[in-house]
């Protein structure tokens, strides 16, 4: 079997690991069910998503350092094990003696889910770079497509489990955790048995301070902020889309829960965007494609602010879902390629940017209190404007660095050309 076919087969368990990465999005799917079961207030229920994203701030950079010590495959395998344990714990909440102890079990579960996902997202992208020759951005986007499938089916399975007249094993919406646990075990065993050759890390491993110093590089800093904007828009859209529909289309007697389908529209088009994006990026120039999808997001922001008809708002949600689905892969791959000899550390910094999923919703909450849902959309619009700025600024910096490298390595030849 040639190396090309071997790499493709090796990608299969890695793609299953991408699916387990999507387990993190179940936090949105089950928060409402948990609120009803435990009698939580809105602020207490909203604490769970914040709890998950908090761990990205803590574990992302240390994971980049861990990869230098134990390797990328073992790091990803560790993350899959932690994630699988996270979805196992809620299945035992019926053995807890009190509601309070059940709630603490869920806190532990969601903390492990955040920790596992922070480690996985830091490690899995550099792992993919070892398995593909070219088309890195499109391969990462396909991985995001696989992840998006888990994100898309999570609310559907949870809703089915909560409403079915004959709950399987009495689990209700917790049936989602059982299904994801089985998939997590498959991912653990398959990836664990897959041999992946890794090149040894040369030189001294970077420390925590050394990793943070990399933010002094303009390309790394711009990409870090780009990741923050991407995740902020992602989490923000999930939070604000149902509220925008309720504000514009709701009537007397309507409730916010009647417009929760807006989240499914977003996930559906995010899934479609990941799948088609992995194909289009092999055909189009990355800069051209990036500009197109960010312009789609900009048009979406206009629709969410000024739209009053159902079709206008649905189209706006679809546009931001499709456009934002490919932002992460492009920004992440450009950051990795800009510093090829320190990809582990760069990956940790980029994943730390997922903390934007905590920052943006907080700012959006203040803005919506002051100006309604249009204010919240305005906060996301700032992120979209930054992404338009990012691609032009980033391309300029890449060209500048390449020019400096050429001058450094070929200055003698350039000097001779100048003489002639």
**Per-residue pLDDT tens listing for the chain (420 residues):** 455 555 567 888 888 888 888 887 777 667 666 766 777 665 566 677 777 878 888 887 788 778 888 888 899 999 999 999 998 998 887 787 788 888 888 889 989 998 998 899 888 878 887 777 766 667 777 887 888 788 777 767 766 776 665 456 667 777 888 888 999 899 899 988 888 877 665 545 556 676 777 787 788 888 889 999 998 898 888 778 888 888 888 766 666 666 777 877 888 898 888 888 878 877 887 888 888 999 999 999 999 999 888 899 999 999 999 999 888 888 887 887 777 777 767 777 887 888 887 788 778 877 877 888 888 899 999 999 999 888 776 554 444 443 443 444 444 333 333 332
Residue 284 DSSP class = S
Q: For residue 127, tell me if it sits in a domain.
A: yes
Residue 313: HSE in the Cβ half-sphere, 13 Å Cα cutoff: 25
Angle between helices 3-21 and 72-88 (to 10 degrees): 30
Give the torsion sign (CA, 354, 358, 359, 360): positive
How many domains are there within the chain?
A: 1
Cα separation, 169 vs 176, whole angstroms: 12
Q: For residue 419, tell me if it sits in a domain.
A: no
Q: For residue 418, tell me if it sits in a domain.
A: no
361, two tokens: 């919703």
Q: For residue 191, tell me if it sits in a domain.
A: yes
Q: For residue 72, tell me if it sits in a domain.
A: yes
- DSSP H helical ranges for 250-341: 261-280, 286-306, 310-324, 327-338
Q: Which residues contact residue 69 at a Cβ distance below 8 angstroms, ignoring those fewer than 6 apart?
A: 205
Q: For residue 89, tell me if it sits in a domain.
A: yes
Cβ pair 264, 25 in contact under 8 A:
no
Cβ pair 228, 237 in contact under 8 A:
no
For residue 287, give the nearest of 250, 318, 331 by alpha carbon: 331
CATH code for position 297: 1.20.1250.20
Q: Give me the domain span that covers residue 13.
A: 3-196+206-410
Per the rule left: phi > 0, alpha: psi between -120 and 50, beta: everything else, 339 is beta
Q: For residue 417, tell me if it sits in a domain.
A: no
3-state SS assignment for residue 203:
coil
Q: What is the 3-state secondary structure (H, E, C) of 83-140?
A: HHHHHHHHHHHHHCCCHHHHHHHHHHHHHHHHHHHHHHHHHHHHHHHCCCCCCHHHHH
Per the rule left: phi > 0, alpha: psi between -120 and 50, beta: everything else, 43 is alpha
Cβ pair 79, 62 in contact under 8 A:
no
Global pTM?
Answer: 0.70
Cα separation, 334 vs 140, whole angstroms: 12
Q: For residue 83, tell me if it sits in a domain.
A: yes
């Amino acid at each position: 079997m040639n190396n090309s076919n071997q790499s493709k087969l090796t990608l299969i368990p890695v793609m299953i690991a991408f699916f387990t990465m999507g387990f993190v999005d179940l936090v949105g799917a089950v928060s409402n069910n948990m609120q009803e079961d435990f009698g939580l207030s809105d602020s207490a229920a909203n604490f769970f998503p914040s709890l998950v994203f908090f761990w990205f701030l803590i574990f992302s950079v240390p994971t980049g350092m861990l990869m230098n010590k134990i390797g990328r495959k073992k790091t990803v395998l560790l993350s899959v094990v932690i994630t699988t344990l996270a979805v196992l714990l809620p299945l035992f909440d019926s053995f807890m003696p009190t509601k309070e102890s059940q709630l603490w079990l869920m806190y532990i579960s969601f903390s492990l889910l955040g920790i596992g996902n922070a480690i996985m997202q830091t490690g899995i992208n550099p792992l993919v770079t070892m398995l593909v020759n070219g088309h890195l951005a499109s391969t990462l986007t396909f991985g995001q497509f696989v992840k998006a499938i888990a994100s898309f089916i999570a609310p559907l399975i949870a809703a089915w489990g909560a409403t079915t007249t004959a709950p399987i094993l009495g689990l209700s919406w917790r049936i989602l955790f059982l299904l994801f646990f089985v998939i997590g075990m498959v991912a653990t065993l398959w990836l664990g048995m897959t041999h992946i050759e890794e090149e040894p890390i040369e030189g001294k491993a970077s420390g925590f301070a050394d990793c943070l110093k990399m933010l002094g590089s303009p390309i790394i800093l711009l990409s870090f902020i780009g990741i923050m904007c991407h995740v902020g828009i992602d989490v923000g859209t999930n939070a604000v889309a149902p509220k925008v529909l309720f504000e514009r289309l709701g009537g007397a007697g309507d409730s916010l829960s009647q417009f929760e389908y807006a989240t499914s529209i977003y996930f559906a088009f995010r899934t479609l965007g990941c799948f088609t994006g992995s194909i289009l990026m092999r055909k189009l120039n990355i800069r051209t494609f990036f500009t197109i999808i960010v312009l789609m997001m900009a048009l979406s922001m206009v629709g969410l602010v000024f739209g009053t008809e159902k079709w206008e708002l649905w189209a706006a949600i679809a546009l931001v879902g499709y456009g934002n689905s490919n932002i992460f892969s492009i920004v992440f791959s450009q950051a990795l390629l800009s510093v090829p000899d320190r990809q582990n550390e760069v990956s940790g910094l980029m994943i730390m940017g997922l903390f934007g999923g905590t920052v943006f919703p907080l700012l959006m909450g203040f803005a919506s209190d002051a100006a309604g849902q249009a204010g919240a959309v305005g906060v996301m619009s700032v992120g979209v404007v930054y992404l338009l700025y990012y691609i032009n600024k980033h391309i300029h910096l890449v060209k500048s660095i390449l020019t400096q490298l050429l001058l450094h390595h070929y200055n003698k030849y350039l000097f001779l050309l100048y003489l002639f």
